Amino acid sequence: MSYDILFASSNKNKFDEAKNITSKFGLKLKFLKLHLQEIQANTLEEIATHKAMQAFSICSRPVIVEDAGLFIKSLNGFPGPYSSFVLDAIGNKGILKLVSTQRCAIFRSVIVYCQEYDDVHLFSADVDGTISKKEQGKKWGFDPIFIPSGKNKSYSQLVDKNQISHRYLALKKFANWYLNKKRSSGL
């Protein structure tokens, strides 16, 4: 099967979601299963950039990585760039115990494209929302506890999540940029 770009991750759920989204733009992704180092840094951009350069150094082909973070306002943006670690450590139930009556949150996605070492392009998107009072639905990650603004269901319960999510918005920016770049270079 031919593909346009490798998607490096150890998370098959994330890849499946990204593949579904990018296919709507005519982009084909191929899963490159890698357990990349998850550095501890203050921004998603730093984490994703490190992963993209690490992935490129392994495969020497154009590659994208995605990193996402849940930023809860009442917790001063926690877990933010530490979302993966926090999800593994305390899970959604732990987050629900930490959140007070102020439930506002932002879900952010950062896509990093790398076609040469140290040559990266970043695409990010945020979705405002709230943290639910209990888990709703059974999908992966923070999807069961994040309710996007304007909706009354969690990401896990939404049929149209892949048309409105933070990951969709960031991948849409990337796909438009990549396809324009491809057209302008005559490929």
- Active-site residue list: 67
Alpha helices in the chain (DSSP H): 12-23, 44-59, 83-98, 161-164, 166-184
Which residues, listed in sequence order, are joined to residue 66 by a DSSP beta bridge?
A: 111
Which residues, listed in sequence order, are joined to residue 119 by a DSSP beta bridge?
A: 116
Distances (CA, A) of 148 to 7, 35, 43, 126, 130: 26, 30, 22, 10, 6
How far apart are the C-alpha atoms of 129 and 34, rounded to whole Å? 31
CB-CB contact of 108 with 69 (8 Å): yes
